[in-house]
Amino acid sequence: MWVFELLFSLLGILSFLSIGLVFDFYVLTRRKLDFNLAVFFGLGMGVVAVFQMLAAVLQISINSIFVYCITGLSIVIMFADPLLNKQLKRALLQSLGKLKGRNILFLATGIAALVLVAAITFSHTVWGFDAIDKWLAKAYAFWFDDGITRNNLHGYYLADDPNLWPITAAWFYHFLGRASEFWVQMIPFTALVCIVGDFARRVLKSGALGFFWMVMLVFSPFLWGAVVLENYSGNADLLLGLYFLLAFGAIFEKRFLYSAIFFGFGVLTKNDGIPALLGFCLLFPVFGFLTREKISKRPYIVALGFLFFNIAWKIYFSLNNRYLENNLLLVLQQRPIVEYTRYSLNAFREEFRFVARWGVGFLVIFFFLFTHFKAVFENKWFLFALILFGFQFAGYIAVFYVTHDDQATQIATSIFRLVLQVYPAMLLFAYELSVYKSRRESK
């Protein structure tokens, strides 16, 4: 029985990969395959989410047969299109060709760590309040009702949370044939594999030192803890962390369309992702002008599109927002903003040095930020990324200020999950700063 469920679960994961690959190949790269499993997984989840959100507006139901057909079609396309098939084979052979020398050591270390994470994760089910009360409760309703409806959006849970994670889980449940808090952990586990894999792909260009960067990420306690600990494995923070890593990574590679898309998917995952997307929309044209580089307008249009789609969809389904429902004037009168902000900043200061969660990852991040600050001004896109991180933290501090709950309680229960969202991207930023000078000199 569990063998079949494992196979169907793997098919569920494959569906996101194949949908993402097909979307990337035909829509984004215009038939030039750029093989990146993390990108495909992120795209797959996002495309499925947007599709289901649109289907909800059109009242189209998404049942198991539909899900299997779409997945089957995307897999068939991979084999049926000769150009895609050829490029896929070449990409796979190239990847296999890289398995030699010390790359095998790097791969073996990563795999060993992830196997241990998998063993601990799949020793239990998801069992956390947020997951059971809202994320997976919604996923169950979306799966049972064959899609999103007005009724199941306004269940027992708060309606204003975004839906990418429940939609992804519901899509996954269609493969299993049941809603399972055990097997659904495949999704956050795959997200962790993608975070590690994408990070490793970038840092291993630096040889042996890259290996230590990878180890630093993989062994960050709360990064794997977000998958392994039953209280957190059903939350959406790690998915947002994946989207931020992909988005910021794309900025460093100047693939701004991908940045826009992944920031957009981030907003569909958690409202916490809104500041980065807002920042992107506001500042991308400015930095495009400052750098004097020829940049397409498409990323800007796509980012704006996601922003408006998110707002319009919420208005259409009357989802509101628990923070905007506050009387903000009253909040400003009753809560001294300077003291609240100072408290929040101190909370972040304490969180960064919480070695039991982050190791000394933030020490590394701040070290390279303070010692390689010149690079931030030489490469305007580094400055752009840094400002987007600033927007994110400003957003977190704003939420701590306006929250219904007591600020201290809100911070105590959520700060580490917020930091998880930006941690992989910030570590990548630190790495990019560290290699900027040597890369520029070698060009």
Partner 1 sequence: MNEALNKVWVLGGAFYLSLFVLVLGYWVGNKRVKNYLNKGVVICAAVLAIYFSFGEETKLNWTPGLFFRPVVLKEDEMTAGQFLFSTHLQEILPTDSTGCVSQLTDLPAYYLRNQLYPRRFVLTTVLSKNCDYIVSPFAPVKIAGFKLVDNYKGNYLYKLK
> End-to-end alpha-carbon separation of the chain, Å?
56
| Shortest spacing between CB 36 and partner 1, in angstroms | 24
Shortest Å, Cβ 282 to partner 1 = 31
Contacts of 101 (CB under 8 A, 6+ apart): none
Residue 363 or 412 with smaller CB distance to partner 1: 363
Nearer to partner 1, 34 or 145 (CB): 145
* Smallest gap from residue 299 Cβ to partner 1 (A): 32
What's the token pair of residue 310?
């998110």
Counting DSSP H helices and E strands in the chain, the numbers are 23, 0
Minimum distance of partner 1 from residue 353's CB (angstroms) = 4
* Residue 264 to residue 46: CA distance in whole angstroms: 9
Tell which residue, 174, 178, 179, has the closest CA to residue 131.
179
Query: Please, which residue, 41 or 352, has the CB nearer to partner 1?
Result: 352
User: Which residue in this structure is represented by tokens 């209280």?
Assistant: 231
Please report how close the Cβ of residue 105 comes to partner 1 at its closest, in angstroms: 14
Distant-in-sequence, close-in-space partners of 211: CB < 8 Å, separation ≥ 6: 102, 105, 106, 109, 204
Q: Is 220 or 310 the residue whose CB approaches partner 1 more closely?
A: 220
CA distances from 185 to 20, 166, 229, 361, 367 (A): 20, 12, 11, 26, 35
Q: Which is nearer to partner 1, 92 or 363 (CB)?
A: 363
Residues in the chain: 443
Which residue, 50, 1, 12, is CA-closest to 187? 12
CB of 53 to partner 1, least distance (A): 20
Question: Could you tell me the smallest distance in angstroms from the CB atom of residue 279 to partner 1?
Answer: 26
Compute the least distance from the CB of residue 260 to partner 1, in Å: 31
Q: Are 234 and 136 in contact (CB under 8 A)?
A: yes
Report the candidate in 381, 388, 423 with the shortest Cα–Cα distance to residue 274.
Answer: 388
Task: Kindly tell me which of 179 and 274 has the beta carbon lying closer to partner 1.
Answer: 179
Nearest to 256 by CA among 300, 197, 220, 312: 300
182/393 with CB nearer partner 1: 182
Closest separation in Å from C-beta 384 to partner 1: 24
**Toward partner 1, which CB reaches closer, 69 or 360?**
360
As measured in angstroms, the least distance from the Cβ of 67 to partner 1 is 19
Residue 156 three-state SS? coil
Q: Distances in Å between the alpha carbon of 319 and those of 55, 158, 188?
A: 17, 9, 26
The candidate with the shortest Cα–Cα distance to 251, out of 423, 390, 425, is 425
Closest CB to partner 1 among 87 and 233?
233
CB nearer to partner 1: pick between 249 and 361: 361
d(CA 245, CA 213) in angstroms, rounded, equals 15
Residues that bind partner 1 (CB under 8 A): 1-2, 5, 116, 119-120, 122-125, 127, 129, 132-133, 136-137, 140-141, 144-145, 155-156, 179-183, 209, 212-213, 215-216, 218-221, 224-225, 228, 230, 346, 349, 352-353, 355-356, 359-361, 363-364, 366-367, 370-371, 434
Closest CA to 349 of 270, 273, 411, 425: 411
Q: Which of 419, 359, 425 is nearest to 199 (CA)?
A: 425
Closest C-alpha to 417, from 329, 358, 331, 373? 358
